Amino acid sequence: MAANSVVQALWGIDFEAERAKRTRAQMNLLSVASDHLFTDHVVNWDECLATLAAAFKGRPRDPDSIDQPGPYFDAVLAEFASGDPSFLARLIEAFTSTPAREPKCRWTYQVVWRDTDFGDMRFIAIVNTASEPDALGFNDWIPVDAASWEILEKVRARRLGRRRREGGPGQPSE
């Protein structure tokens, strides 16, 4: 739905451009989890993948369709599979070895993100469900320590500097 300028700087994307060219399933966090533009920075990728698997397995759904994830999730899995094929076995392992989480409207996971220029940042990701049937949620990454905040500010400043050098707006919209 939206991404602020800081996360766009962190991820190295223009969210509006991504949203314009991607389908809803392609915007799902699990879909992106097999894209090297994202995965090459997530130090604890397998842990994050297991958390996503546990959350999916624990989400409320129609008891008659427990083994049928539905067309939206099928599309998300197809997008994941269209990424790096080496990740597919790791996704299957995560789904088979990770127990379901208790269904919750709010849950968290840890992210360790490596910036190629400035090093590792640690985040607590807080997910708040917006619409379970539509698989929509707010996914907030909050730095957990002062060092991560400092690196994040450097990442933000780097993006602002690039925009100024390229003649774009001095400050991306929030």
pLDDT digits (tens, 9 = 90+) for 60-92: 665 554 455 677 778 888 888 888 888 888 888
What number of CA atoms fall less than 13 Å from residue 102's CA on the CB side?
Answer: 2
Contact 71, 116 (CB under 8 A): no
Contact 169, 1 (CB under 8 A): no
- Output the CA angle 163-123-25, nearest 5 degrees: 70
Contact 125, 110 (CB under 8 A): yes
**Dihedral over alpha carbons 155, 158, 164, 170 (to 10 degrees):** 30
Q: What is the pLDDT of residues 110-162, one digit of tens each?
A: 999 999 999 999 999 998 887 766 667 788 999 999 999 999 999 999 988 87
Domain boundaries, the chain: 5-165
| The 119-131 sheet, strands edge to edge | 106-115, 119-131, 136-143
User: Of 3.30.565.10, 3.30.450.180, 3.40.718.10, 1.10.3210.10, which CATH number belongs to 5-165?
Assistant: 3.30.450.180
